C-alpha cells in the first residue's frame, strides 16, 4: 500500500498547476551525518529572511513526536517516512514550504511521497560513509559497529541512493552554505522561488 492509498489522498493530476500557489516540499535524503539537518538550517535562515512560510520536519524530532513508538524495521521505517510525506503533502498544498530532513533510506517510499505530493524537490546529501562515520555527531556509527544498534542504515541496512534527484550536494567537498546556495539556485530554475 502506498501513501496515497493509506491516507486516502488523490494524486495531483498536474504538478505544475498544483504548484502555482508556491507550496512545495524540499526533501533531503542521505546517510546519518551527511549534513541534511545542517543544510536545512541554512535554508531555513534564508526562508526566514524573506518571510517564506515553511516548516522543518527533522527526522529526530519527528521520531520523538509523530512517530514515537516506531522501531527501525523496514516496515516501521516505511511508516515513518509515509507519515512525514503526508504531513509535507498537507503543508505544501496549503502554500507552506515543507522541508523534510530524514534519512529516508528506501527509494520506493521516497518515490511514493513524490507522487502524492507532486511539488517535490529531492536533494541527495551525498557524503561517503567514511566521512559520515568520522563526523558521527551522535555516536551512532560507533554503536552500530559495536553491535549495540541493529539494522543501522549504511552499516547493516541498505541506503538506496536517488536515481534522479533534482539536486546533489557533495558535503565532503562543499560547505553547508555552498550546498544551500546550490539548492536555492535549483529552486529558482524550477520556478519555486523568485529571489
Please state, in angstroms and rounded to a whole number, the distance separating the CA atoms of residues 74 and 77. 5
Count of residues in the chain:
195
6 falls within a domain? no
8 falls within a domain? no
- Whole domain around residue 155: which residue ranges? 16-190
Residues 6+ apart with CB under 8 A from 109: 3, 77, 78, 81, 82, 85
Cell numbers representing residue 103 in the block: 534519512
Q: What's the pLDDT at 98?
A: 98
10 falls within a domain? no
Say what the pTM is.
0.88
136 falls within a domain? yes
Percent of the chain's residues with pLDDT above 70: 89
Instruction: Say which range, 59-73, 91-105, 140-154, 167-181, has the weakest mean pLDDT.
Output: 59-73
Domain total in the chain: 1
Per residue in 110-154, pLDDT tens?
Answer: 999 999 999 999 999 999 999 999 999 889 999 999 999 999 999
Per residue in 166-182, pLDDT tens?
Answer: 999 999 999 999 999 99
129 falls within a domain? yes
The CATH number of the domain holding residue 21 is 3.40.50.300
Q: What's the pLDDT at 44?
A: 97
195 falls within a domain? no
List the catalytic residues: 104
Amino acid at each position: 500500500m502506498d501513501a496515497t492509498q493509506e491516507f486516502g489522498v488523490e494524486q495531483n493530476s498536474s504538478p505544475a498547476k498544483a504548484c502555482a500557489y508556491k507550496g512545495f516540499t524540499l526533501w533531503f535524503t542521505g546517510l546519518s551525518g551527511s549534513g541534511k539537518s545542517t543544510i536545512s538550517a541554512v535554508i531555513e535562515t534564508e526562508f526566514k529572511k524573506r518571510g517564506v512560510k515553511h516548516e522543518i520536519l527533522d527526522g529526530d524530532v519527528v521520531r520523538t513526536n509523530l512517530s514515537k513508538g516506531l522501531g527501525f524495521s523496514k516496515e516501521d521505517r516505511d511508516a515513518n517516512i509515509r507519515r512525514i510525506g503526508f504531513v509535507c503533502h498537507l503543508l505544501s498544498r496549503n502554500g507552506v514550504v515543507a522541508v523534510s530532513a530524514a534519512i529516508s533510506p528506501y527509494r520506493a517510499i521516497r518515490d511514493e511521497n513524490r507522487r502524492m505530493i507532486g511539488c517535490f524537490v529531492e536533494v541527495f546529501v551525498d557524503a561517503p560513509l567514511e566521512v559520515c562515520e568520522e563526523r558521527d555527531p551522535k555516536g551512532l556509527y560507533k554503536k552500530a559497529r559495536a553491535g549495540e544498534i541493529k539494522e543501522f542504515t549504511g552499516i547493516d541496512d541498505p541506503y538506496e541512493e536517488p536515481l534522479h534527484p533534482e539536486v546533489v550536494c557533495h558535503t565532503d567537498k562543499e560547505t553547508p552554505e555552498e550546498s544551500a546556495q546550490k539548492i536555492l539556485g535549483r529552486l529558482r530554475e524550477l520556478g519555486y522561488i523568485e529571489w
